[in-house]
């Protein structure tokens, strides 16, 4: 019995030591991973309303179509995302000028199978972080793919801004190191807020430009999340 108690105390102490050694930056990255995941899944019942404005132009100054969509999103662990359209308005018309994106590129890749990789969770070892610098009361740090992972599809580089006091992410700006097929420019921007110490994206901006042959399109999307609720 004495040996059993000694082993138990040893494991408890190891757990406390591991938790104590988790750096504020590591804690923030874990919270960032959960916040980004909320666009598709959650570890607890979660709901919010997302309002998205999508603008498609000809790559110049001419706006071809503007669409506004307001949806209620419900996330339940282990279940598919449920989306309820609350309102939708579209002005203008456009043809599928990015039809080339459905074609395969010379190296066999396609835009439909291309995904974005950020420096969180299991993908964190694929990245390296630069030195931290002050951004007012916040901290900014640049990130880029590690040398050993630089050729992988979907890897990004950019800047992460976070609060060292709350250990919560504030902003994430990123661009892919290599654009997907038939895309000449792509960028992402996230701003985060918190509810009861739990971080979630307050806004998500996305910009893309590209096309196939003489067809060119520029897409700009801005989404804002409101009425966020989570049941632990």
Which residue bears the tokens 């498609």?
56
Decide if 4 is inside a domain. Answer: no
Sign, Cα dihedral of 35, 41, 46, 47: positive
**Domain assignment present for 18:** no
- Kindly state whether residue 156 falls inside one of the protein's structural domains: yes
Q: Into how many domains does the chain fold? A: 1
* Residue 140, domain member (yes or no): yes
Does residue 15 lie within any of the structural domains? no
Using one digit for the tens of pLDDT, what is the confidence trace for 51-93?
A: 999 999 987 778 899 999 999 999 999 999 999 999 999 998 7
Domain that holds residue 63: 24-230
**106-153 per-position pLDDT tens digit:** 444 444 456 899 999 999 999 999 999 999 999 999 999 998 876 677
Measure Cα distances from 3 to 6, 8, 9, 10, 11 in Å.
5, 9, 10, 10, 13
Taking the model in full, what pTM does it have?
0.80
Residue 84 included in any domain: yes
Look up residue 5 and give its two tokens. 């108690």
Residue 110 · residue 98 · CB < 8 Å: no
Asked if residue 5 is part of any domain, the answer here is no
């Amino acid at each position: 019995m004495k040996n059993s108690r000694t082993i138990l105390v040893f494991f408890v102490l190891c757990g406390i030591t591991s938790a104590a050694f988790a750096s504020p930056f590591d804690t923030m990255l874990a919270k960032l991973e959960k916040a980004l995941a909320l666009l598709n899944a959650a570890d607890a019942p979660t709901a919010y309303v997302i309002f998205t404005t999508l603008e498609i132009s000809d790559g110049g100054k001419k706006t071809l179509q503007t669409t506004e969509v307001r949806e209620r999103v419900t996330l339940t662990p282990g279940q598919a995302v449920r989306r309820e359209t609350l309102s939708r308005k579209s002005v203008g018309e456009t043809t599928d000028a990015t039809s080339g994106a459905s074609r395969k590129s010379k190296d066999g890749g396609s835009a439909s199978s291309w995904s974005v990789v950020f420096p969180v969770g299991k993908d964190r070892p694929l990245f390296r972080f630069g030195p931290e610098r002050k951004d007012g009361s916040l901290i900014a740090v640049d990130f880029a793919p590690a040398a050993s992972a630089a050729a992988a599809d979907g890897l990004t580089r950019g800047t992460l801004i976070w609060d060292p006091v709350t250990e919560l992410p504030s902003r994430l700006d990123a661009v892919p190191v290599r654009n997907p097929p038939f895309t000449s420019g792509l960028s992402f921007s996230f701003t985060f807020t918190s509810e009861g110490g739990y971080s979630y994206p307050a806004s998500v901006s996305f910009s893309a430009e590209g096309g196939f042959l003489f067809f060119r399109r520029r897409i700009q999307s801005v989404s804002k999340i409101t009425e966020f609720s989570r049941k632990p």
